[in-house]
């Protein structure tokens, strides 16, 4: 759960506690916080069972999008994925910057940059994965964290990227410690690429900020 999520949970707990303790003094029926809590838990359960948590993702993302600094972080994060994928010749098929955009494109979660992973899927199905292909995808997955760290000094996003990384490592049946080391190496490789192509990165951030099509974003890089 991100910081926005923690803040909303804290506000909810505080509100219920406040009305429960001070309700009688304020002449507020104790039924109100009870009904509110029951309704919130019911909606949470319905969202989990029916929509696989997508409603919660949309709500949290909507709150986060009210913060312009958060929007800029997301933009720089996704531009990092986009540019490094392009440099490593992994085709970019699309991108989204909000959970609502992702839902409209029939994607789950908060969206992000989409890639053509056919070569990766083919090798995994065959039970083999070349070191070169592994390096390419690992670097692309950690490029968002690399971009955030370069621009802001630290990364708030990247949880889904690390999960992809770990899932792949489990498929390959490799030690977890080796996974962590590979993540660090991949971040450094991505940062090196972003520094080397800083003008292209800045142009891409501007293009993606204008919600241009992938083809137009590619033109901005050149």
**pLDDT tens sequence across 80-99:** 999 999 999 999 999 988 76
Token reading at 217: 């974003």
Task: Reduce the DSSP state of residue 94 to 3 states and report it.
Answer: strand
User: pLDDT, tens digit, for every residue of 28-82?
Assistant: 555 555 555 545 444 445 445 454 545 554 555 544 555 678 889 999 999 999 9
At residue 33, the pLDDT reads 55
Give me the DSSP letters along 33-64: HHHHHHHHHHHHHHHHHHSTTHHHHHHHHHHH
Q: CA-CA distance, 5 to 215, in Å (whole number)?
A: 35
Task: Reduce the DSSP state of residue 127 to 3 states and report it.
Answer: coil
Q: What is the mean pLDDT of residues 188-216?
A: 96
Domains recognised in the chain with CATH numbers: 3-50 (no CATH), 68-221 (1.20.58.760)
Helix (H) or strand (E) holding 180: helix 176-196
User: pLDDT, tens digit, for every residue of 119-164?
Assistant: 999 988 888 889 999 999 999 999 999 999 999 999 988 888 998 8
Closest CA to 85 of 138, 28, 155: 138
Q: How many CA atoms lie within 13 A of 85 on its CB side?
A: 25
What does the buried/exposed string (b/e) look like for 9-46 if buried means 16 or more CB atoms within 10 Å of the residue's CB?
Answer: eeeeeeeeeebeeeeeeeeeeeeebeeebeeeeeeeee
Q: What does the mean pLDDT of the chain come to?
A: 78
Q: CA-CA distance, 34 to 11, in Å (whole number)?
A: 16
Q: CA-CA distance, 99 to 60, in Å (whole number)?
A: 9
Through-space distance between the first and last CA atoms of the chain, rounded to whole angstroms: 37
Q: What is the DSSP letter of 107?
A: -
Token reading at 12: 């909810």
For the entire predicted model, the pTM comes to 0.73
Q: What is the mean pLDDT of residues 163-168?
A: 88
Contact 179, 163 (CB under 8 A): no
Name the residue with higher pLDDT: 18 or 212: 212
């Amino acid at each position: 759960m991100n910081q926005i999520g923690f803040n909303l949970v804290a506000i909810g707990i505080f509100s219920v506690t406040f009305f429960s303790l001070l309700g009688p003094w304020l002449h507020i029926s104790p039924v109100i916080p009870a009904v509110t809590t029951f309704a919130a838990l019911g909606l949470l359960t319905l969202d989990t069972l029916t929509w696989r948590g997508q409603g919660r993702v949309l709500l949290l993302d909507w709150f986060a999008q009210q913060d312009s600094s958060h929007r800029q972080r997301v933009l720089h994060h996704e531009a990092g994925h986009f540019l490094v994928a392009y440099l490593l010749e992994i085709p970019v098929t699309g991108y989204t910057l909000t959970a609502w955009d992702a839902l409209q494109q029939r994607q789950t979660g908060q969206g992000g940059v989409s890639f053509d992973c056919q070569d990766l899927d083919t090798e995994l199905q065959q039970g083999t994965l070349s070191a070169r292909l592994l390096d390419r995808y690992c670097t692309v997955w950690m490029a968002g964290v690399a971009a955030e760290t370069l621009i802001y000094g630290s990364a708030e996003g990247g949880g889904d990227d690390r999960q992809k990384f770990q899932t792949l490592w489990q498929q390959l049946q490799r030690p977890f410690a080796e996974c962590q080391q590979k993540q660090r190496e991949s971040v450094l490789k991505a940062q090196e690429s972003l520094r080397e192509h800083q003008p292209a990165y800045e142009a891409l951030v501007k293009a993606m900020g204008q919600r241009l099509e992938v083809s137009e974003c590619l033109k901005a890089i050149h």
